Structure 1
Amino acid sequence: MILHELVSYETLRLVWWVLLGVLLIGFAVTDGFDLGTGMLLPFAGKTDLERRVIINSIGPVWEGNQVWLILGGGAIFAAWPQLYAVSFSGFYLAMFVILVGLILRPVAFKFRSKRADPRWRARWDWALFFSGVVPALIFGVAVGNVLLGVPFRFTDDMHILYEGTFLGLLNPFALLCGLVSVAMLAMHGAAWLQLKTDGLVADRARRYGSVAAIATVVLYAAAGVVLWQAVDGYRITSAIVTEGPSNPLFKTAQVATGAWFANFDNHRWTWAAPVLGLVASLLALALMRARRGGLALLASGAAIAGIILGVGAAMFPFILPSSLDPRASLTVWDSSSSHLTLFIMLVVSSVFIPLIVAYTSWVYKVLWGKVDGAAIADQRGHAY
């Protein structure tokens, strides 16, 4: 027997769907507090020294955190090529804006302190604010559009045609999802600042983080109600073939009212994901109010995981539904790479992902503790 046949095609597809979720959660939880910290920079820091403390709380770790984004993009490219083709071409302008924000962040880090002019530094501070808010907003908008269905279809020769526009992505439900993303990452960034700073910066972070936690609960609940009452989901109407060829057109599907809640009705344990998103947000609020920054960071990370898992649980087995032709919708069972490709990638990932986790854990251990404002003021070390 060939080695890769020891694991069924169905199992490998399911494993890679789970791994994609893990990578997305890893990015949202790690780089999420970087984005949240950028959002809070002009508000939690009032003096130049306070803002330098905030910047230096994420300065040594932000690059490592973005590894999860690279891994996620690579996983989509290799494991779900049709998903990569549709999303990275259809959402091209949106992704370009995200990349502008992510690229602007290190530029701002490097150039902000090149001049002592307060106006110069203030401009870079707002650039960091932009680089935090805009990617967070657009990531959420993208999730909202995925839930609504993306305007793409296949031709008879399997050529992908995307018929949407950038402005079409900015619909009310998608913007609501974008606000959920902004609020939850602001909450996460505030918890990080409580852990890594003290004094007035930590106090302001606690106040803004409390507001963000309340906003996360309210907006997430509102998005759930809108999804239930006003957004139609998708369901497969033909026989589900879990080990068939990767051709979405071999199935039939349709838009159906309430379809995104079918998995929750059929498998009640899946309610644990959205409940975790709400309960952990409230717990993060309580812990921030109690000045328990470390535990608040864990709680806000759990809230992010719950919110993302809730979307995955609602949509399974759909990955990217098509609003133009429901039959063309991409699912776990009909849009993956080959059996052999998924197996080889799983072997490689089982080696490198633990190494990344171990290295990242070591870095955080070395950099543990609060940022020393006095050391930054004295210009010791290599502070930004």
Structure 2
Amino acid sequence: MILYELISYDVLRLIWWVLLGVLLIGFALTDGFDLGVGALLPFVGRTDEERRIAINTVGPVWEGNQVWLVLGGGAIFAAWPPLYAVSFSGFYLAMFLVLAALILRPVGFKYRNKRPDAAWRSRWDWALFVGGAVPALVFGVAVGNALQGVPFELTGHLVPLYEGNAILKLLGLLNPFALLAGVVSAAMLVTHGAAWLAFKAEGIVARRAMAIGSVSGPVAMLAFALAGVWLAFGIPAYSYAGNIDPSGPSNPLLAEIVRGGSWLNAYTVRPWIAVAPLMGFAGIGLATLGLRKGLGGFSLLASKLGIFGVISTVGLTMFPFILPSSKQPGASLTVWNASSSHQTLFIMLICTLIFLPIVLAYTAWVYKVLWGKVGSDEISSNPNAY
């Protein structure tokens, strides 16, 4: 009870904003290379054995890595209910595409080896490609739309309205800036997957991954730079027009929020956040250099740094906004007006402090047990290999 009183409502809101970012970054750092390997599969493996090598670099860990996405969705549901309601309604068909693509991954892993027929296995290999490439692209598209604002509104009873059928909503999400953000995401995760294969695979599979990653890395950097310029000068920002009450009730309609100006203003108010995009460029650039030099472990660490920087750039630039509304700016969801209650956030924090270290410890143990490269000898001698 004493601890509950010591941690104020505004501090808890800020903690959960950080934790949500940690969960999303954790997903990108871990399952991101799984998605990248899937997107690379038809290109790094030209024979069945080569594709099996690529698959078995991620086969033992992809399920655990995907847990971070589940935790992120759960955190949104429990800590930011309005965000969950609006995003899962407006992005419904896009999320369905992601889930359908992610479902193809375990099915592809399990079914491709059920028959020795080359055509059968090739079809499942392309299914694994879809399971990697589609989520990598759609996640970026979703972020691009969040930066622009989503056309939803709130009634006087705080009921979110997002008009249009599912097809029109999806087509609305596929706008030029969002597609550019999707290119950033896809190229970044392909580079991450290439770094993983360079680190984990042996032989020609690793060399082909290095060659592809040496190209996708600069593409990610260029797209990231173009998106930054577009965001700064072509997309109006959102801001509070009056006083902010970080401990106020979770009612977006109580504060005045306006649209106008540039997102670059965030860097004037908080100059230190410029470290995030610098980390993004430096990490992806060093990963590209490492891939060209054949340094798999270095490239993997550098790509993780780049992903951390890119995702942090989005969160820090938008803060305190989480999901702005382009149709009704005053209904925009922020860190200060869209959270669960003080008590709910506190109970969730205690649970997180107990269970998150367990998840991290188990994940570290799994990677330690599965340490080592995957090559022809490994897949031929291991009866559990895909």
Alignment TM-score > 0.5, same fold = yes
Matches within 5 A, 1:1-384: 3-163=3-163, 165-258=169-262, 260-377=263-380, 380-384=382-386
Deviations 1:80-109 (A, max 9, x none): 001001001111111000000111100000
Structure 1 residue 372 displacement after superposition: 3.1
Q: Distance in 1 between matches of 2:259 and 2:340?
A: 26
Q: Distance in 1 between matches of 2:2 and 2:233?
A: 49
- Runs of 4+ in structure 1 deviating by more than 4 angstroms, as ranges, are none
Deviations 1:20-44 (A, max 9, x none): 0000000011000000000100001
Q: Distance in 2 between matches of 1:108 and 1:311?
A: 33
Deviations 1:158-214 (A, max 9, x none): 111012511100000000000100000000000000011121111100000111111
Q: Distance in 2 between matches of 1:227 and 1:316?
A: 15
Aligned letter for 2:341?
S
Structure 1 residue 322 displacement after superposition: 0.3
Q: Distance in 1 between matches of 2:189 and 2:132?
A: 9
Say if 1:49 and 1:377, in contact at 8 Å, map to a contact too. Answer: no
Q: Distance in 1 between matches of 2:194 and 2:158?
A: 46
Structure 1 residue 377 displacement after superposition: 3.2
Say if 2:202 and 2:375, in contact at 8 Å, map to a contact too. Answer: no
Q: Distance in 2 between matches of 1:340 and 1:262?
A: 34
Listed as ranges, the gaps of 5+ residues in structure 1 are none
Listed as ranges, the gaps of 5+ residues in structure 2 are none
Deviates more, 1:287-296 or 1:42-51: 287-296
Q: Number of residues paired by the alignment?
A: 382
Say if 1:105 and 1:128, in contact at 8 Å, map to a contact too. Answer: yes
Matched residue SS, 1:254: strand
Q: Distance in 1 between matches of 2:156 and 2:270?
A: 36
Q: Distance in 2 between matches of 1:215 and 1:375?
A: 33
Over the aligned positions, Cα root-mean-square deviation in angstroms equals 1.0
Deviations 1:299-335 (A, max 9, x none): 1011011000000111000000000110000000011
TM-score by length of 2: 0.97
Q: Distance in 1 between matches of 2:366 and 2:379?
A: 20
TM-score by length of 1: 0.98
Deviations 1:339-361 (A, max 9, x none): 01100100000111111111000
Q: Distance in 2 between matches of 1:84 and 1:96?
A: 15
Aligned letter for 1:228?
A
Structure 1 residue 3 displacement after superposition: 4.3
Q: Distance in 1 between matches of 2:139 and 2:48?
A: 30
Structure 1 residue 2 displacement after superposition: 5.5
Aligned letter for 1:159?
V
Q: Distance in 1 between matches of 2:85 and 2:364?
A: 33
Matched residue SS, 1:226: helix
Q: Distance in 1 between matches of 2:269 and 2:8?
A: 25
Percent of aligned positions that are identical: 60
